[in-house]
Amino acid sequence: GNDQTLKTHLFGKVYPNPFTESIRIETPLTIRSVEIYNSEGQCVYKNNGLNTNIDLSAIHTGIYVIRTRTENQVFQQKIVKN
């Protein structure tokens, strides 16, 4: 609902979405980890949050969920690879 929109706004943004090659995470918060899951729930990408420009050219096209963990929250967003 509206609460989630507010949280996402405070978090920042993941773009471009849809993407073809790579995505960028823009946030004022400190990122602890980034994980990306495919539609089967398998983790296809993971890092320790230091890299906010993420090369996803190796993964297949489709719908994914990016899970970005900050100090005390986890932000989840759907991203689409074309």
Using one digit for the tens of pLDDT, what is the confidence trace for 43-79? 999 999 888 999 999 999 999 999 999 988 999 999 9
Task: Give yes or no for residue 3 having a pLDDT over 80.
Answer: no
Q: What is the DSSP string of 15-70?
A: ESSSBSSEEEEE-SSPEEEEEEE-TTS-EEEEE-SS--EEE-TTSPSEEEEEEEEE
Q: What is the pTM of this model?
A: 0.85
Q: Tell me, what's the pLDDT at 8? A: 56
pLDDT tens-digit profile of 5-42?
Answer: 555 567 789 999 999 999 999 999 999 999 999 999 99
